[in-house]
Structure 1
């Protein structure tokens, strides 16, 4: 079962409620993976709200490896997450930088894939994600970081849709930690709508 040790049970319930009411929708949707689904999760209404980001960042920070010097993620979904976790780390007297992985190399200037204060090659970086379906977005970020010479062992996501992402992470020798599973959020949303 996903855990959020950085949160109290009340805070975890608050975050679940926010996700179920503001991020989750039921209908017919085409996902970023190209798959069709009756469940849609867009965490941005929660991750871009002050309290939502605070709850997410606190929970994610508790799963960032002790030796990590930075958190990183693929733009756009991970942008608030990496910033929020870096700030939460600072408030907890933990020095973590935030890195944003571009979807494509910058078309001008340095042509960079990565934005932020770059650590030394060989440094450990934890990848953050809003939603994992097949794991494609997370793996794109991981691959860019590994190609740049960084070590990535863990991906932390707000929601695991339980559609193969965990297996894809395992195949890439990554540990996937999810704060919530889609089945939890959809069940909670169904209870709220009764």
Structure 2
């Protein structure tokens, strides 16, 4: 049986170690934004693990606005995150639903952009994201939610790559809350790798 740390500080350090070990790579990479980088972060090996989901559910829920009635995010990266946060909320006695924002409208049936139990128009929703680079994915999710009549003021991300995403969010009037900065994950990964040579 896996034992999760109870203290928030220990949860954070355990999650950081998981990200550094399973999600981070150093090399030469082309990112989804088209940019080149020596840093690559793919949170799915963490967000699709039982321990990672449990820790992310707790840590991300703590950043969701008290007034939010749902969390939402762009498929595919946010799918496990919205599920984990909604489940953790239920375990804590809070009613918070999960919504998934499609990358394009459903090609049949209702042609919907959003999947899940839709709250009334005007409701506040917090957007979840795995990695923020330029902020494009999160901003697309925010745009679809706002077009559907919802209020979105905050984006909660696992990792901010520190490449303009925070500035793009601020320019859009959004509050970005990141659990970790890329420099922190990279430094931890370097520490785990030990001295070179």
Q: Same fold (TM over 0.5)?
A: yes
Q: How does 1:8-23 map to 2 (within 5 A)?
A: 8-23=8-23
- Tell me the equivalent position of 1:147: 147
TM-superposed deviation, 1:9: 1.6
Query: What SS class does the counterpart of residue 145 from structure 2 fall into?
Result: helix
1:130 matched residue in structure 2:
130
Q: Is the aligned partner of 1:83 residue 2:83?
A: yes
Task: Kindly state the Cα deviation for residue 117 of structure 1 after the two structures are TM-superposed.
Answer: 0.3
Task: Say which one has the larger Rg.
Answer: 2
Partner of 1:3: none
> Cα deviation per residue 1:12-58 (whole Å; 9 max; x = unaligned)?
11101100000000111111111111000000000000110110110
TM-score, normalised via structure 2 length: 0.95
Q: What are the superposed Cα offsets for residues 52-97 of structure 1, whole Å, 9 maximum, x if unpaired? A: 0110110000011011000000000000000000000000000000
Q: Conserved in 2, the CA contact under 8 Å of 1:159 and 1:181?
A: yes
> 2-side partners of 1:7 and 1:160: how far apart?
23
**Which residue is equivalent to 2:29?**
29
> Can you give the 5+ residue segments of structure 1 that lack an aligned partner in the other structure?
1-5
Match of 1:71 in 2: 71
Distance 2:11 2:143 in 1: 33
Post-superposition shift, 1:8? 2.0
Shift of 1:7: 5.4
Report SS of the residue matched to 2:88: helix
Mark the CA change 1:172 to 1:188 in structure 2 (over 3 Å): closer, same or farther.
same
- Structure 1 pair 7–175 and aligned structure 2 pair: CA distance change class (3 A): farther
Structure 2 unpaired stretches of 5+: 1-5
Q: Distance in 2 between matches of 1:94 and 1:62?
A: 12
What is the total number of aligned residue pairs between the two structures? 189
| Other-structure match for 1:163 | 163
Post-superposition, which runs of at least 4 consecutive aligned residues in structure 1 deviate over 4 A?
none
